[in-house]
């Protein structure tokens, strides 16, 4: 098997590639534009492997992508390349429209042209697996869970762009027969996450003794999934998922943001007792405009049809993540020496 992974220099894509190289005999081509979020240092451990190749390219660059398909003849595409940060989508939606919608459309067209020329068994075996978010379903109240049949109601520019991409992928299956699968996943956390998202932002700011911003009252709830579990789920779905299906992926770990931040503080207290208690660094700040209250996943289909369920509990996963950020200061200090310095983004101005 040869797999194309788009966005493989990002947080989840790099976890998927590390897992493919470690657990399979497949070959993998990482296609990534290297935006601010792409970081090849996340792949240092496998970069020298003969089954791995990196190509710097934009998924929307049709001639380059067509040549790559012709040259490499992949058996599947795991499509993760995207603009992913809600706050950035509030500050400026253009890159979200260009990559998540137009880029996905272009990649579907390129993939379709390639797939149509495959024959027999290779054509039947081919998959285009699209990695999306539970945010497409909108916001839940205090109870209930998102199922694969929950109507779409995206609220942020980011989630609207991902919803559009999901619809395009499903349309390319229904209209042209492209063998696609869509996955909608809850919030991920774990090693190598760009420190603009809640968990790594809180960890690195706490380790540096800086204030810990919590949006609104910290009551928004997310269902946390460890990134290595997500990578494992993607490979299980690729091998056993049904063409045309959607699979929700969740960790069954619902937490309020304030409880996540307090849990990080408690674990860092144990590592750095001299600066404890880190809770004193918490500051409640202006809420994110249109902040969805709660996301929670019903992952029954994944368990029933694929036989997969997230193995990592939140406490253990958080500890592993904090330990990784403590031991890998060079990785995040390099990231923060670039344009982003953990400042607040995504406040509507004017």
As annotated, the active-site residues are 134-135, 158
Report DSSP state, residue 133.
E
Count, residues in the chain = 350
Looking at the DSSP assignment, which residues form a beta bridge with residue 185?
133, 249
Q: Which is nearer to ligand NAD, 187 or 246 (CB)?
A: 187
List the beta strands (DSSP E) in 23-111.
27-32, 52-56, 76-79
Site string for ligand NAD, 6-25 (x = CB under 6 A): xx-xxxxx------------
Binding segment (CB under 6 A) for ligand NAD, from list 80-88, 288-296, 297-305, 307-315: 80-88
- 222 Cβ neighbours under 8 A, 6+ residues apart: 186, 187, 198, 254, 255, 257, 260, 294, 295
What gap in Å lies between CA 103 and CA 13, rounded to an integer?
Answer: 17
Per CB under 6 A, 37 contacts ligand NAD: yes
Q: Which is nearer to ligand NAD, 82 or 281 (CB)?
A: 82
Per CB under 6 A, 55 contacts ligand NAD: no
**First CA to last CA distance, the chain:** 52
Q: How many residues bind ligand NAD (CB under 6 A)?
A: 31
Q: Which is nearer to ligand NAD, 85 or 278 (CB)?
A: 85
Kind of pairing, strands 254-256 and 221-223?
antiparallel
CB of 165 to ligand NAD, least distance (A): 8
Q: Which is nearer to ligand NAD, 138 or 281 (CB)?
A: 138
8 A C-beta contact, residue 161 and residue 94: no
What gap in Å lies between CA 350 and CA 311, rounded to an integer?
Answer: 45
CB of 249 to ligand NAD, least distance (A): 8
8 A C-beta contact, residue 79 and residue 128: yes
What gap in Å lies between CA 250 and CA 225, rounded to an integer?
Answer: 6
Looking at the DSSP assignment, which residues form a beta bridge with residue 285?
215
Site string for ligand NAD, 283-312 (x = CB under 6 A): ------------------------------
Kind of pairing, strands 2-6 and 27-32?
parallel
Per CB under 6 A, 103 contacts ligand NAD: yes
Per CB under 6 A, 201 contacts ligand NAD: no
State phi, psi for 9 to the nearest 5 degrees: -95, 5
8 A C-beta contact, residue 317 and residue 269: no
What gap in Å lies between CA 252 and CA 261, rounded to an integer?
Answer: 18
Q: Nearest residue by C-beta to ligand NAD?
A: 10
Among 3, 19, 69, 84, binds ligand NAD (CB under 6 A): 84
Q: Which is nearer to ligand NAD, 58 or 229 (CB)?
A: 58
- 2 Cβ neighbours under 8 A, 6+ residues apart: 26, 27, 28, 29, 72, 73, 74, 75
Binding segment (CB under 6 A) for ligand NAD, from list 29-37, 258-266, 285-293, 311-319: 29-37
Per CB under 6 A, 254 contacts ligand NAD: no
Q: Which is nearer to ligand NAD, 231 or 281 (CB)?
A: 231
Q: Which of residues 124-183 bind ligand NAD (CB under 6 A)?
A: 131-133, 162
Per CB under 6 A, 34 contacts ligand NAD: yes
Binding segment (CB under 6 A) for ligand NAD, from list 2-10, 169-177, 266-274, 334-342: 2-10
Among 43, 185, 260, 306, binds ligand NAD (CB under 6 A): 185
Q: Which is nearer to ligand NAD, 104 or 281 (CB)?
A: 104
> By CB neighbour count within 10 A (0-12 exposed, 13-18 middle, 19+ buried), where does 343 fall?
exposed
Per CB under 6 A, 80 contacts ligand NAD: yes
Report DSSP state, residue 43.
G
Positions in the binding site for ligand NAD (CB under 6 A):
6-7, 9-13, 32-35, 37-38, 58-60, 80-84, 99, 103, 131-133, 162, 185, 187-188, 194
């Amino acid at each position: 098997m040869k797999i194309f992974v788009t966005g493989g220099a990002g947080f989840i894509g790099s976890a998927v590639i590390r897992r493919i190289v470690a657990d399979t005999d497949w070959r993998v081509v990482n296609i990534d534009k290297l935006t601010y979020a792409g970081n090849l240092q996340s792949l240092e451990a496998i970069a020298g492997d003969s089954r791995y190749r990196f190509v710097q390219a934009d998924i929307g660059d049709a001639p380059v992508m067509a040549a790559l398909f012709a040259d490499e003849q992949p058996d599947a595409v795991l499509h993760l390349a995207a603009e992913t940060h809600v706050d950035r989508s509030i500050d400026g939606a253009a890159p979200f429209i260009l990559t998540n919608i137009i880029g996905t459309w272009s990649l579907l067209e390129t993939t379709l042209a390639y797939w149509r020329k495959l024959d027999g068994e290779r054509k039947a075996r081919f998959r285009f697996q699209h990695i999306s978010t539970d945010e497409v379903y909108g916001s839940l109240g205090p109870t209930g869970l998102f199922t694969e049949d929950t109507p779409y109601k995206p609220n942020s520019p980011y989630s609207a762009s991902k919803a559009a991409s999901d619809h395009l992928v499903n349309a390319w299956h229904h209209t042209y027969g492209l063998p696609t699968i869509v996955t909608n996943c809850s919030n991920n956390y774990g090693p190598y996450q760009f420190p603009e998202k809640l968990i790594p932002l809180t960890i690195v700011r706490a380790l540096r003794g800086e204030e810990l911003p919590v949006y609104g009252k910290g009551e928004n709830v997310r269902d946390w999934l460890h990134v290595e579990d997500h990578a494992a789920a993607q490979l299980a779905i690729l091998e056993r998922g049904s063409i045309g299906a959607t699979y929700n992926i969740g960790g069954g770990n619902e937490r309020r943001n304030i409880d996540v931040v307090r849990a990080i503080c408690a674990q860092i207290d144990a590592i750095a007792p001299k600066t404890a208690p880190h809770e004193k660094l918490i500051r409640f700040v202006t809420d994110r405009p249109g902040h969805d209250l709660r996301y929670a996943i019903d992952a029954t289909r994944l368990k029933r049809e694929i036989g997969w369920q997230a193995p990592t509990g939140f406490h253990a996963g958080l500890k592993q993540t904090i330990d990784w950020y403590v031991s890998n200061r060079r990785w995040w200090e390099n990231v923060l020496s670039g344009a982003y310095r953990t400042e607040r983004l995504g406040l509507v101005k004017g």
